[in-house]
Amino acid sequence: MISSFKSYLVEEEKTLYFVWGRMNPPTAGHEKLLDFLKAKAGNNPYRIYLTQSEDKNKNPIPFAQKIKFARKGFPQYARQIIMNKKLKTIFDAMSSFYNEGFKRVVIVAGEDRIREYDVTLNKYNGKKGRHGFYNFEKITVMSAGKRDPESKGVEGVSGTKLRSFAKNGDFSKFAQLMPKKLSNADAKQVFNAVRKG
């Protein structure tokens, strides 16, 4: 017997697909990642989480502002970009997915993070810790493809590259690598936020 409508919903869709990323700032390369996430998820739910770290080097844009930029830059995914200050680490997120009733999770990541996620997320599966507890039937880490820093196309876009353009005051190069849906004025806001941070 189904105990509640909520558990019935999760029974129907046991696999959650998600991305956990810095996106500081959001770039045209991230759009490719999110398109891939949506395509792979199919009829399963999918979510996008941005990290909350703030520092001068790699995380110049504060969390709330970064969420705003990402939702503007990827309006088609705005509802999937989750703002939850309680989920500070990927382990917090995993515990919360488990508590929601998901049986399997698929994390979509860049080629460079695959091994790290595969090892650490599976290592804590079924083990209690500071992060809480999760015990999934299956944790899959899926590559969204290789990043080639030398490439002129979307594959070559990286936050590092954009942060250095901002640092050097090169707005035209910076703007070219922003999400296509951002207006020039929005791109300028992102640029200024990176510079300020």
Give 16's pLDDT tier (boundaries 50, 70, 90).
very high
Tokens linked to 64: 């709330």
Residue 123, number of CB atoms within 10 A of its CB: 9
Identify which has the larger pLDDT, 149 or 124: 124
- The mean pLDDT of 155-164, rounded to a whole number, is 79
d(CA 13, CA 56): 40
**What counts of helices (H) and strands (E) characterise the chain?**
8, 5
What percentage of the chain carries pLDDT values higher than 90?
72
Give 131's pLDDT tier (boundaries 50, 70, 90).
confident
Residues 108-119 as b or e (16 or more Cβ within 10 Å = b): bbbeeebeebee
Give 93's pLDDT tier (boundaries 50, 70, 90).
very high
- The mean pLDDT of 72-96, rounded to a whole number, is 96
Q: What is the pLDDT of residue 52?
A: 95
Identify which has the larger pLDDT, 184 or 156: 184
Give 152's pLDDT tier (boundaries 50, 70, 90).
low
- The mean pLDDT of 2-21, rounded to a whole number, is 70
41 has which bridge partners?
A: none
21 has which bridge partners?
A: 50
Residues 32-41 as b or e (16 or more Cβ within 10 Å = b): bbbebbbeeb
Tokens linked to 170: 């090169």
d(CA 154, CA 137): 35
18 φ, ψ (degrees, to nearest 5): -155, 160
d(CA 145, CA 112): 9
pLDDT greater than 90 at residue 145: no
Identify which has the larger pLDDT, 156 or 134: 134
* pTM tops 0.85, yes or no: yes
Write out the E strands in the chain.
15-21, 46-50, 81-82, 104-109, 138-143
Which has the closest alpha carbon to 67: 50, 46, 53? 50
pLDDT greater than 80 at residue 87: yes
Let me know the angle formed at the C-alpha of 94 by 120 and 17, rounded to the nearest 5 degrees.
100
pLDDT greater than 90 at residue 5: no
Residue 131, number of CB atoms within 10 A of its CB: 16
pLDDT greater than 90 at residue 156: no
